[in-house]
Structure 1
Amino acid sequence: MMWSPDLFSNSPNISDPLSEVVRLLHPRAVFARIISGKGNWAVRYSEYGLPSFCIMLDGSCLLAVDCHQPITINAGDFILLPTTPAFTLASFVPAPPVYLDPNKIVNVSSELRYGEPEGPADMRSLGGSFVFDSPDQGLLVSLLPKVVHVQNSQRLSRLVQMVGEESADQKPGSEFVMSRLLELLLVEAMRSVATENAPPGLLRGLGDERLARALTQMHARINYAWSVDELAKIATLSRSAFFERFRRMVGVAPMEYLLAWRIEIAKELLSDNKLTVSEIAERVGYGSSSAFSVAFSRYVGKPPSQFAR
């Protein structure tokens, strides 16, 4: 039977590329703690390197990330720093900064207080960092700008409120619930930058209605022998217009993107050690294990069997 772009248009099993990325990353919170401030204060954090977040629960403060304009964080806002460069967090009245090493406070579970130690806080936030079980943590960094600031989102506000309540109550199962909530916050942050303001990549492509159709189908049928012509028809663009638009918005040519995503899926399957190399080759669209091994080795730098070990 000949393939048609309409064949899967109403299928309930169409893959959501954004959900796939989050699932592939296996995110979890390595730590999360209440951070508060009172009076005039400033703290200067050195570079951390791992993804970190800040959820403003009450009040507001200033965030100045190196090489970026300072921004005001208000109650309900969510900040994500995919690589966490050095930054300064401060009250609105200037104060000499206290220098902190993020690596030395990761294992501290008690509330962190800035400024005056006593009295009701002017600012309360939940700060922490993500860790990813995926072997390719750089996948998140490649998708997002260096500073993600989500505000004026009712969905986000509800999630922030739930995170604050869960953090305060510490009921049985709190660690699991907190992990799921932070996963949802990560998805919401990624959704917020799925526009032309995002760096070239999957999120920017998903912000383009026509390219989103093609990307969704590519993810839905990763084992299909896609051609640029077929993908262009899904996007209702000419072949040349689709190719140029895809490369400009996603950052690579369509077939390069498909190869990269097939390799990412293959890495996960190899890490699970539940399928043979030939089974994985078929799962990600290769007619033989030898063809898959050649493509995998060229892309990763080692053959599939060695990667699995």
Structure 2
Amino acid sequence: MADPLSDVVRLLRPRAVLANPISGKGNWAVRYSEYGQPGFCIVLEGSCRLAVDGEAPIAIAAGDFVLLPTTPAFTLSSFVPAPPVFIDPKRVPGGDGERRHGEQQGPPDMRSLGGAFAFDTADAGLLVSLLPRVVHVRGSQRLMLLVQMVGEEYEQRQPGNEYMLSRLVEMLLIEAMRASSSGDAPPGLLRGLGDERLAPALKQLHARIEHAWSVHELARHAALSRSSFFERFSRIVGVAPMEYLLRWRMEIAKDLLRRGELNVAQVAERVGYGSSAAFSTAFSRQVGRPPSRYAQAAASLAKS
């Protein structure tokens, strides 16, 4: 049986970039302008207040992991208000040592690792479509172990450090997705995987992407009537079943084309199309350019 979350993470191929230790003591505040790309905060010690624009402020503490899929403007601070220091993450580079806010001497009240994700795939919008604006994971022993390991890897810089960090980031991302599969998540794959009826159908679809699926056949895996399945899938996943299948096939096709190991006809067969012409028409309509041109552009980008 396929694991759709693993499918998504494999397509994104995440890695952490621009990471910096951040600490604060006393009364302090730092205001970050909008970044627009996926960002994260891992709390290593202590606690503080996080206020993301448009969302209710939250308290974050040691062992917590916060993911902001689009990283809007936000303020990180002590629990007593203080005049903020302003930082533009697009202009301030990462990797230049710890940033200390508030009192400069003595042990900090809070210490965290903050930074941004980069994805080796060309379309990180896939992550944004899956998650709410703020993902806050707390109280997980597994997560606390991962957070501790990320902190150690970042500080110790041992051989193999880059590979270890990329794998740990993948695991943190999966934990964030798991935590967001409840009814509070926006319509999408995560909500579908959290639904006991839809999850079996989604897993079957991901396991056999090349199969000529029908709504009726998927409904049988969900133990629902065709009409009930269609309504439930559309409401919880956010698109009709066949539209979801089309979108996922195109995500797989884009990944295969970027890799450059298969020609267009082979990619068409891999994602369930009986002819290159039918695949090219569907791909062009969904992506905005023919698969051959998409593959050429990806190859040029890889060489640059």
Aligned to 1:288: 275
Does 1:187 find its partner at 2:174?
A: yes
User: 183-192 or 24-33: which moved more?
Assistant: 24-33
CA–CA distance in structure 2, aligned partners of residues 160 and 30 of structure 1: 16
Does 1:47 find its partner at 2:34?
A: yes
CA–CA distance in structure 1, aligned partners of residues 74 and 94 of structure 2: 20
Where does 1:1-309 land on structure 2 (aligned, <5 Å)?
Answer: 14-309=1-296
Could you list the runs of 4 or more consecutive aligned residues of structure 1 that deviate by over 6 angstroms after TM superposition? Answer: none
The Cα shift of 1:162 comes to 1.2
Query: How much is the aligned-residue C-alpha RMSD, in angstroms?
Result: 0.9
User: Tell me, what secondary structure is at the counterpart of 2:116?
Assistant: strand
CA–CA distance in structure 1, aligned partners of residues 193 and 171 of structure 2: 18
CA–CA distance in structure 1, aligned partners of residues 94 and 52 of structure 2: 23
User: Tell me, what secondary structure is at the counterpart of 2:249?
Assistant: helix
CA–CA distance in structure 2, aligned partners of residues 108 and 166 of structure 1: 14
- 1:206-265 alpha-carbon deviations (Å, 9 max, x no partner): 000110100000000000000111100001011111000000000000000000000110
CA–CA distance in structure 2, aligned partners of residues 185 and 108 of structure 1: 20
CA–CA distance in structure 1, aligned partners of residues 190 and 96 of structure 2: 34
Q: What TM-score do you get using the length of structure 1 for normalisation?
A: 0.94
Tell me the amino acid that sits aligned with residue 73 of structure 2. Answer: A
Q: Percent identity?
A: 69
Q: What TM-score do you get using the length of structure 2 for normalisation?
A: 0.96
Work out the number of aligned pairs and report it. Answer: 296
CA–CA distance in structure 2, aligned partners of residues 156 and 109 of structure 1: 26
The Cα shift of 1:107 comes to 3.3
User: Tell me, what secondary structure is at the counterpart of 2:113?
Assistant: strand
Give the conservation status (yes or no) of the 8 Å contact 2:68–2:133. yes
User: Tell me, what secondary structure is at the counterpart of 1:196?
Assistant: coil
CA–CA distance in structure 1, aligned partners of residues 31 and 217 of structure 2: 52
User: Tell me, what secondary structure is at the counterpart of 1:306?
Assistant: helix
CA–CA distance in structure 1, aligned partners of residues 154 and 289 of structure 2: 43
CA–CA distance in structure 2, aligned partners of residues 166 and 278 of structure 1: 43
The Cα shift of 1:167 comes to 1.9
The Cα shift of 1:62 comes to 0.3
The Cα shift of 1:306 comes to 0.9
Give the conservation status (yes or no) of the 8 Å contact 2:280–2:290. yes
**Residue segments in structure 1 that go unaligned for 5+ positions in a row:** 1-13
Tell me the amino acid that sits aligned with residue 181 of structure 1. Answer: L
**Residue segments in structure 2 that go unaligned for 5+ positions in a row:** 297-304
The Cα shift of 1:168 comes to 2.3
Give the conservation status (yes or no) of the 8 Å contact 2:19–2:94. no
User: 159-168 or 14-23: which moved more?
Assistant: 159-168
